[in-house]
């Protein structure tokens, strides 16, 4: 019955080629997600990824995400594949699939990970998965109270624009140092430039230096987050996208300063992550 | 006014800033066209183009259900 339903949906969805365009967002692609970050991580296993991409390749035109930007571009029937945060599993598990299917993809990187600084959201997931949130809130009672952080809302509240991400990350670092937790306990994103493959099918894109909520930052901090990563990417000598991926990707996660800075750096456009698809022409 | 009357992108930005400075909500083209829903505002923010993405569900069946729902949602919104 389930198989019948999936086959029926697949048949109906093929028709979308005639009027929709998709930009798919993946994060990690672990076969088995490490226990330290399991809860709250968006993961698609290599097996499912392969199934999804093979289906898309059969019924849609898979293109580089940059090809969906520009005046009078029609996105109908096109699909772009993107991976945010550059988890190591993308390089070890997803890229062989992408290569075997001969489809392009874009990996949006955070430069801080490459410099050996663990991804701050993985640190948050670590605290949750290790049942350390209560202990963390006890460690910084006034900070938690000021920002209305509780055990129940910890994950969601810590990524709201009202909580300055840089400040929050600093408090978590203090806590981890105080508890003797080694930073490499949460190093799951690419932390070595040698891992970045130079391949005609792979493009690298700007996802800010530290993946902070841009609208939670001052204009100057935003300039650093976007600009530092922009420069780092251009120094890699790899194929770089002219499209920017907004960390968290919601309406409230960027503001006017964000678009102004992106425009200054010459970005063609940006990607939301609002659970939606695209239709027709850009303008 | 037609698009070509704005000349360069820099001049477009200067004009937009001047329009904004005097508190105008926006401006009207005269390009022999009509408007549809929120189509144009969905594709640009502060002049910068954007595209929509979605986080792909972790099963194949879930993915098929997801894209059908997104399609229906998108069509209804348009």
* DSSP notation for B14-71: HHHHHHHHTT-------SS----TTHHHHHEETTEEEE--EEPPSSHHHHHHHHHHHH
| Chain A residue with the nearest C-alpha to that of B70 | A276
Instruction: Tell me how many residue pairs between chain A and chain B have CB atoms under 8 A apart.
Output: 122
Residue A252, Cβ neighbours under 10 Å: how many? Answer: 12
The pLDDT of residue B48 is 94
Determine the Cα–Cα distance for residues A73 and A182; give it in Å rounded to an integer. Answer: 48
| Cβ-based contacts of B65 with chain A (< 8 Å) | 9
Q: A250 in contact with B at a CB cutoff of 8 Å?
A: no
Mean per-residue pLDDT of chain B: 68
Please write the tens of the pLDDT for every residue from A120-168.
999 999 999 999 999 999 999 999 999 999 999 999 999 999 999 999 9
Q: Among A52, A262, A275, whose Cβ lies nearest the Cβ of B54? A: A275
Asked whether the beta carbons of B49 and A268 are under 8 A apart, the reply is yes
DSSP string, A145-174: HHTT--TTTHHHHTTSTTS-HHHHHHHHHH
**Contact check, Cβ <8 Å, A263/B47:** yes
Q: Which of B33, B35, B50, B78 to mutate to test the interface with A (most CBs of A within 10 A)?
A: B50
Query: Six-digit token pair at A281?
Result: 């022409």
| Residue spans of chain A under pLDDT 70 | 282-283
| Cβ-based contacts of A10 with chain B (< 8 Å) | 64
Smallest CA–CA distance, residue B26 to chain A, in Å, is 17
Q: Which residues of B touch A (CB under 8 A)?
A: 39-40, 43-61, 63-65, 67-68, 70-71, 73-74, 78
The pLDDT of residue B38 is 40
The phi and psi torsions of A86 (rounded to 5 degrees) equal 50, 60
Is pLDDT above 60 for B39?
A: no
The pLDDT of residue A154 is 97
Q: A130 in contact with B at a CB cutoff of 8 Å?
A: no
% of chain B surpassing 90 pLDDT? 35
**Contact check, Cβ <8 Å, B45/A259:** yes
Asked whether the beta carbons of A262 and B48 are under 8 A apart, the reply is yes
The pLDDT of residue B7 is 43
The pLDDT of residue A215 is 98
| Chain A residue with the nearest C-alpha to that of B61 | A6
The pLDDT of residue B11 is 44
Query: Six-digit token pair at A11?
Result: 């048949």
Burial of A138 (0-12, 13-18, 19+ CB in 10 A): exposed
Determine the Cα–Cα distance for residues A259 and B48; give it in Å rounded to an integer. Answer: 7
DSSP string, A33-91: --GGG-TT--B--HHHHHHHHHHHHHHSEE--GGGG-STT-B-TTEEEEEEES-BHHII
CA dihedral A132, A134, A135, A136 (to 10 degrees): 80
Smallest CA–CA distance, residue A132 to chain B, in Å, is 27
**Contact check, Cβ <8 Å, A277/B78:** no
The pLDDT of residue A133 is 98
Interface of A with B in 210-239 (CB under 8 A): none
Best CA proximity match to A229, nearest among A213, A205, A208, A203: A208
Burial of A65 (0-12, 13-18, 19+ CB in 10 A): buried
């Amino acid at each position: 019955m389930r198989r019948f339903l999936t086959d029926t949906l697949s048949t109906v969805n093929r028709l979308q080629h005639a009027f929709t365009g998709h930009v798919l967002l993946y994060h990690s692609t672990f076969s088995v997600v490490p226990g330290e970050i399991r809860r709250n991580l968006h993961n698609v296993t290599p097996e499912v990824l392969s199934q999804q991409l093979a289906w898309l390749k059969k019924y849609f035109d898979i293109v580089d995400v940059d090809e969906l930007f520009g005046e009078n571009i029609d996105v109908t029937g096109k699909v772009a594949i993107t991976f945010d945060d550059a988890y190591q599993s993308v390089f070890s598990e997803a890229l062989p699939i992408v290569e075997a299917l001969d489809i392009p993809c874009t990996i949006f990187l955070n430069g801080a990970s490459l410099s050996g600084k663990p991804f701050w959201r993985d640190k948050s997931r670590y605290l949750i998965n290790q049942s350390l949130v209560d202990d963390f809130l006890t460690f910084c009672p006034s900070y938690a109270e000021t920002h209305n952080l509780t055990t129940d809302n910890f994950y969601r509240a810590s990524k709201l624009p009202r909580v300055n991400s840089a400040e929050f990350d600093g408090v978590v670092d203090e806590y981890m140092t105080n508890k003797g937790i080694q930073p490499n306990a949460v190093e799951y994103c690419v932390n070595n430039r040698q891992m970045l493959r130079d391949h005609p099918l792979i493009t690298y894109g700007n996802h800010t230096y530290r993946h902070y909520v841009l609208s939670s930052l001052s204009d100057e901090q935003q300039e650093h987050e976007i600009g530092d990563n922009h420069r780092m990417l251009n120094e890699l000598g790899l194929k770089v996208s002219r499209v920017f991926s907004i960390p968290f990707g919601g309406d409230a996660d960027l503001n006017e300063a964000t678009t102004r800075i992106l425009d200054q750096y010459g970005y063609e456009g940006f990607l939301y992550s609002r659970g939606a698809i695209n239709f027709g022409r850009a303008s | 006014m037609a698009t070509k009357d704005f000349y360069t992108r820099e001049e477009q930005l200067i004009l937009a800033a001047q329009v904004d400075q005097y508190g105008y909500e926006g401006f009207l083209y005269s390009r022999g066209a009509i408007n549809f829903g929120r189509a144009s505002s969905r594709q640009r923010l502060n002049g910068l183009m954007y595209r929509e993405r979605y986080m792909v569900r972790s099963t194949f069946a879930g993915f098929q259900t997801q894209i059908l729902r997104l399609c229906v949602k998108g069509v209804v919104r348009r």
